[in-house]
């Protein structure tokens, strides 16, 4: 069971010294800390939090994981469709060359979808 313990100090130095002492007790395996933070309110009213464990690395790792997962799900089909493009071009060339050679009737299909460079070559 986890407990939340909040202690108030008159100065920031006292809080940092206690945090360091708690860390040394954890290294001796006398206590177990999940996290510790020192919260300081400045004269201008702004609050600054100094956490024991940085959350930036965990946030970056989580963002990288979810970005990669979403990218694989939504963009992965595109590399597999890449080889289909040369096959489609080959089929277009085959159909246009057979139409030009007179093997197929010219009205068999509407050749307007065939690119002009293939038709004229």
**Do residues 37 and 49 touch, judged by C-beta distance below 8 A?**
yes
Q: Specify if 99 maps to a domain.
A: yes
Q: In the chain, what percentage of residues exceed pLDDT 70?
A: 69
- pLDDT tens digits for 20-73? 898 899 899 998 888 888 888 888 989 888 887 777 777 888 888 888 888 777
- Which residues have C-beta within 8 Å of that of residue 105, sequence separation ≥ 6? none
70: Cα separation from own chain's centroid: 7
CA angle 104, 106, 112 (to 5 degrees): 115
Q: Specify if 2 maps to a domain.
A: no
**Do residues 96 and 115 touch, judged by C-beta distance below 8 A?**
no
Q: Specify if 67 maps to a domain.
A: no
Q: Specify if 47 maps to a domain.
A: yes
| Domains contained in the chain, number | 2
Query: What local confidence, expressed as pLDDT, does residue 111 receive?
Result: 54
Range of the domain at 43: 12-53
Q: Specify if 60 maps to a domain.
A: no
Q: Specify if 30 maps to a domain.
A: yes
Q: Specify if 46 maps to a domain.
A: yes
Model confidence at 120, pLDDT cuts 50, 70, 90, reads very low
For 32, the token pair is 């177990």
Q: Specify if 101 maps to a domain.
A: yes
Query: What local confidence, expressed as pLDDT, does residue 28 receive?
Result: 93
Q: List the alpha helices (DSSP H) in 9-121.
A: 12-27, 55-75, 77-81, 84-101, 116-120
- Alpha-carbon gap, residue 114 to 69, rounded angstroms: 38
């Amino acid at each position: 069971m986890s407990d939340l313990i909040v202690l108030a100090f008159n100065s920031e130095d006292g809080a940092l010294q206690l945090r360091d002492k708690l860390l040394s007790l954890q290294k001796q395996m006398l206590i177990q800390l999940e996290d510790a933070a020192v919260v300081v309110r400045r004269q201008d009213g702004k609050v600054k939090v100094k956490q024991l464990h940085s959350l930036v690395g965990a946030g970056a790792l989580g963002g990288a994981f979810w970005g990669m997962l979403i990218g694989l799900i939504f963009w992965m089909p595109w590399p597999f469709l890449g080889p289909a493009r040369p096959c489609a071009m080959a089929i277009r060339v085959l159909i246009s060359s057979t139409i030009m050679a007179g093997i197929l009737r010219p009205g068999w299909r509407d050749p307007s979808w065939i690119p002009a460079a293939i038709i004229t070559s």
